Amino acid sequence: MFKAICFLLLLCQISVCCVSASEPQKKNTSDENFETNDEKCSQLSFSDTDIETALNRAEELRNRLKSIENDIQEKRLFIDTTVISAAARHLIPSQNKHFLREIHENQRLFEEVSRHLIQNRSLSREEALSLKHNPRVESHKLIRVKRQTCRSKQAISCPAKSRFRTPDGSCNNVRNTRWGKSFECIARLLDPEYADGVSVPRVARSGRPLPNPRILSVSIHAQEDVSANYTHMLMQFGQFLDHDISLTPVTQLRSGGIQCCPRPTHPDCFEIPILPNDAFYNRMGKRCINFVRSVPCESCTAGARLQLNELSAFIDASNVYGNSLNDTLGLRNKDGLLAVGFDRKGKHILPQSNNIDNDQCSRPNKLCFRAGDNSRVNQHPALTLTGRMRQHNRVASALKQLNPTWDSERVFQESRRIIGAQMQMITYNEFLPIVLGPKVMQFYKIGVNSTGFTKYDPAVNPSILSEFSSAAFRFGHSIVNGRFTMISASTPSQKSSFNLRDNFFTPTRMHQGQMDFILRGLVGRSAQRFDPFCHGDLLTGRCSRPNKLCFRAGDNSRVNQHPALTTLHTLWMRQHNRVASALKQLNPTWDSERVFQESRRIIGAQMQMITYNEFLPIVLGPKVMQFYKIGVNSTGFTKYDPAVNPSILSEFSSAAF
């Protein structure tokens, strides 16, 4: 796996350690993007004294951090997440907060060991990256003892036979039971570029800080209102899908969120400074945006930090059902249906929040909702998962009527299985044709087969990629409208609307029975065009009131925290110039326009090849890849079908959602 990526990196003169061409190629795993066999990378020698000294130092630093956190708790220098505020809304505690703290504490020890070894030996970046493969470090007896406390290294017992997916995504692959599971490492296409080789956010090659994310968000992502030829539902389904497969939690204290402004109080602060000439924040008197770093995954190995995905990587509607057995049990009733609440018109809506002290939303007589994705379900009215809840209960009621002998567990699991399949069907039959385009869908045979089955490949790792979750899939932010349309069924010509900026974490419209109006508005109004620009409400709308906070600067800061995107840009720029130089030498009669366009054509083909031969097998997983026959043909070409219409289907707009 990743042969094309590795070759491209070497071609562009980016130093990496690749698998030898004479060695058998391994399939990708979450922590084996590039096997290290170069002597410089794999033969670093550390004595027992080196490793034991590093462990002792790591324990000292971990204990010191515990003292810092205890001091923060005693002096109440944390953000109280029971009080509604802009900063707290970005720090809504996970239902698994204590488990995440345990993961972070375990991994922090291995990070500090790595940092000490790197600094003590003045290791290069390539040498630092190879620590996770170093046999002396990995096999040391004390390292092995520490690793025994890591849950990620404990075996998972899978049922012998099961018709249904596990809530946490485990056991999808019986050989690698953790692949795609919740609370596992996010995979990477490229190695990280941390400033210290372990976890410190990257800096410029000169050693200076990177450009201020707030300045970038205002300068580059400034608003442009350009209507597109697809509906606003495209944006909303994309966000819904994202919340099904990806959630990177931030570091939390025991009693609240980490306070980084006006000055950092914790090593995981990554605050965004605000310059005095900031036209928006200047009138609010703010000089800092609170931003906290992500929780590392529990790899329990030396080397660079990887991030954690709190959700399963599969399209399984985990944002509806939760990502653990406890989550699921708390969302269903005894009849196999999902729990419900009622709006003022008597229609079913999501049940009331059971975490009203920390949901950053509930007020007296205005309680918010709970769902499988509790931390994000209340972000704005169009995101609420009422539609999927109603669909589950509709399916469950029908199954119960058709199969009166089924118990509630069978009814629930069969309904959940159908809802997950519908999510996959909509994704590959409705969403991807618009995002990728008909030519790409046809060329790579991405689509829904009318008949037949595909073969499951146990060698494919479906884990979410950092490049995907932190950068690529955030394209949807550019197609958001600042005003959401509402359309009545009885008088569709009479439309109303509401400002997005006024409805973050506001449940009123759902309680008033406006969900159906909002859904009609999503399919009745165009979204904005795919571009680098972002609506003003996403730049400043969430900061325009005391309880609002903009997040586009957070996107930029997150990319710096999970570095790789700039490397990819540089990689493709170099590859284009290399191809162009070769073409110019081979074809001296070509003018500059011909050279540019031919190079662009080749680069586009390489991007498509890597996407469907390397990227999608990880993102989609083996079952989906096999079932929908997604892959690259070794020979031959495919025929473009001009009769294929990528428009939204009626089943999607009027029923499925």
What average pLDDT score do residues 463-477 get? 81
Same domain for 278 and 414, yes or no, is no
Q: Which amino acid is at 546?
A: P
Helices (H), 165-254: 213-220, 232-245
Same domain for 260 and 354, yes or no, is no
Which of the residue ranges 92-106, 311-325, 565-579, 592-606 would you say has the lowest mean pLDDT?
Answer: 565-579
Residue 472 has pLDDT above 90, yes or no: no
> Number of structural domains, the chain?
3
Q: What is residue 639's predicted lDDT score, i.e. its pLDDT?
A: 64
Same domain for 250 and 348, yes or no, is no
Residue 221 has pLDDT above 60, yes or no: no
Helices H / strands E in the chain, number of each: 27, 10
Stronger pLDDT, 276 or 52, i.e. the higher one: 52
Residue 535 annotated as binding site: no
User: Contact, 133 vs 121, CB < 8 A?
Assistant: no
Q: Give the chain's end-to-end CA distance (angstroms, integer).
A: 36
112 domain residue, yes or no: yes
CA distance 371 to 350: 7
Pick the closest to residue 257 from 22, 63, 97, 465 (CA basis): 97
What average pLDDT score do residues 267-277 get? 90
Q: Which residues pair with 309 in a beta bridge?
A: 184
56 domain residue, yes or no: yes
Quickly state the pLDDT bin for 18 (edges 50, 70, 90): very low
Q: What is residue 350's predicted lDDT score, i.e. its pLDDT?
A: 92
Same domain for 375 and 275, yes or no, is no
- Number of other CB atoms surrounding residue 494 within 10 Å: 9
Q: What is residue 649's predicted lDDT score, i.e. its pLDDT?
A: 57
Helices (H), 12-134: 39-42, 48-75, 86-89, 97-121, 125-129
CA distance 169 to 188: 19
Stronger pLDDT, 466 or 547, i.e. the higher one: 466
Helices (H), 246-380: 279-282, 318-321, 325-329
What average pLDDT score do residues 171-184 get? 93
Quickly state the pLDDT bin for 590 (edges 50, 70, 90): confident
Instruction: Tell me the pLDDT tens digit for each residue of 333-365.
Output: 989 999 999 999 999 999 998 888 888 888 877
CA distance 278 to 287: 9
Question: Best-predicted range by mean pLDDT among 189-193, 314-318, 481-485?
Answer: 314-318
What average pLDDT score do residues 523-528 get? 88
What average pLDDT score do residues 198-219 get? 83
- Which of 133, 243, 511, 562 is labelled catalytic? 243
What percentage of the chain reaches a pLDDT higher than 70?
A: 80
User: Contact, 552 vs 222, CB < 8 A?
Assistant: no
Same domain for 421 and 279, yes or no, is no
Residue 55 has pLDDT above 80, yes or no: yes
Pick the closest to residue 382 from 503, 489, 475, 476 (CA basis): 503
Quickly state the pLDDT bin for 3 (edges 50, 70, 90): very low
Residue 48: give the domain boundaries: 40-205+212-226+244-309
Instruction: Tell me the pLDDT tens digit for each residue of 62-82.
Output: 999 999 999 999 999 999 988
Quickly state the pLDDT bin for 548 (edges 50, 70, 90): very low
Cα dihedral 233→235→240→242 (10° resolution): 150
Same domain for 565 and 631, yes or no, is yes
90 is catalytic: no
Question: Best-predicted range by mean pLDDT among 221-225, 438-442, 648-652?
Answer: 438-442
Q: Which residue has the tokens 């680098």?
A: 532
Q: What is residue 457's predicted lDDT score, i.e. its pLDDT?
A: 83
**Backbone dihedral region for residue 647 (phi beyond 0: left; psi -120 to 50: alpha; all else: beta):** beta
Q: Which pTM was predicted?
A: 0.76
Q: What is residue 533's predicted lDDT score, i.e. its pLDDT?
A: 63
Same domain for 167 and 82, yes or no, is yes
CA distance 508 to 505: 9
Instruction: Tell me the pLDDT tens digit for each residue of 591-619.
Output: 877 888 888 888 888 777 777 777 777 66
Residue 562 has pLDDT above 80, yes or no: no
User: Contact, 317 vs 419, CB < 8 A?
Assistant: yes
CA distance 336 to 433: 34
Which of the residue ranges 179-188, 377-386, 510-519 would you say has the lowest mean pLDDT?
Answer: 377-386
Pick the closest to residue 559 from 642, 470, 495 (CA basis): 470
- Three-state secondary structure of 370-439: CCCCCCCCCCCHHHCCHHHHHHHHHHHHHHHHHCCCCCHHHHHHHHHHHHHHHHHHHHHHHHHHHHHCHH
Residue 25 has pLDDT above 50, yes or no: no
Q: What is residue 542's predicted lDDT score, i.e. its pLDDT?
A: 46
CA distance 236 to 384: 10
User: Contact, 179 vs 469, CB < 8 A?
Assistant: no
Same domain for 56 and 187, yes or no, is yes
Residue 14 has pLDDT above 60, yes or no: no
Stronger pLDDT, 461 or 584, i.e. the higher one: 461
Greatest Cα pair distance, the chain, in angstroms, is: 78
Residue 381 has pLDDT above 70, yes or no: yes
Cα 472 vs. chain centroid, distance in angstroms?
9
Residue 497 has pLDDT above 60, yes or no: yes
What average pLDDT score do residues 189-194 get? 86
Q: What is residue 651's predicted lDDT score, i.e. its pLDDT?
A: 47
Pair type for strands 308-309 and 184-185: antiparallel
Q: What is residue 539's predicted lDDT score, i.e. its pLDDT?
A: 58
**Long-range residue pairs from 159-166, CB within 8 A, at least 24 positions apart, any chain:** 163/413, 163/417, 164/413, 164/416, 164/417, 165/314, 165/316, 165/416, 165/417, 165/420
318 domain residue, yes or no: no
Output the six-digit token pair for 554.
């957070």
Helix axes 232-245, 515-524, angle to 10 degrees: 110
DSSP 3-state of 228 = strand
Instruction: Tell me the pLDDT tens digit for each residue of 123-140.
Output: 988 888 889 889 999 999
Same domain for 352 and 491, yes or no, is yes
Pick the closest to residue 553 from 213, 97, 131, 75 (CA basis): 213
Same domain for 512 and 565, yes or no, is no
Sign of CA dihedral 65, 70, 74, 80: positive
Q: What is residue 547's predicted lDDT score, i.e. its pLDDT?
A: 45
Same domain for 272 and 130, yes or no, is yes
232 domain residue, yes or no: no
383 domain residue, yes or no: yes
Output the six-digit token pair for 271.
């605050």
Q: What is residue 415's predicted lDDT score, i.e. its pLDDT?
A: 97
Quickly state the pLDDT bin for 320 (edges 50, 70, 90): very high
Which of the residue ranges 58-72, 148-162, 414-428 would you say has the lowest mean pLDDT?
Answer: 148-162
CA distance 278 to 300: 42
Quickly state the pLDDT bin for 638 (edges 50, 70, 90): low
Pick the closest to residue 169 from 306, 316, 28, 296 (CA basis): 316
Quickly state the pLDDT bin for 635 (edges 50, 70, 90): low
What percentage of the chain reaches a pLDDT higher than 90?
A: 39
Structural Rg of the chain based on CA atoms: 25
Label residue 277 exposed, middle or buried (CB < 10 Å: 0-12, 13-18, 19+).
Answer: exposed
Helices (H), 274-381: 279-282, 318-321, 325-329
User: Contact, 134 vs 110, CB < 8 A?
Assistant: no
445 domain residue, yes or no: yes
Label residue 173 exposed, middle or buried (CB < 10 Å: 0-12, 13-18, 19+).
Answer: buried
Length of the chain: 657
Residue 34 has pLDDT above 50, yes or no: no
Sign of CA dihedral 97, 99, 105, 109: negative
Mean pLDDT of the chain: 81
467 domain residue, yes or no: no
Which of the residue ranges 121-135, 221-235, 374-388, 545-559 would you say has the lowest mean pLDDT?
Answer: 545-559
Same domain for 393 and 289, yes or no, is no
Stronger pLDDT, 632 or 586, i.e. the higher one: 586
User: Contact, 212 vs 273, CB < 8 A?
Assistant: yes
Question: Best-predicted range by mean pLDDT among 66-70, 226-230, 322-326, 384-388?
Answer: 66-70
CA distance 121 to 133: 17
Stronger pLDDT, 455 or 8, i.e. the higher one: 455
Q: What is residue 220's predicted lDDT score, i.e. its pLDDT?
A: 61
Quickly state the pLDDT bin for 162 (edges 50, 70, 90): confident
CA distance 7 to 621: 24
461 domain residue, yes or no: no
Label residue 409 exposed, middle or buried (CB < 10 Å: 0-12, 13-18, 19+).
Answer: exposed
Which of the residue ranges 388-397, 401-410, 480-489 would you say has the lowest mean pLDDT?
Answer: 480-489
Sorted by sequence, the CB contacts under 8 Å of residue 645 that are 6+ apart come out as: none
Residue 39 has pLDDT above 60, yes or no: no
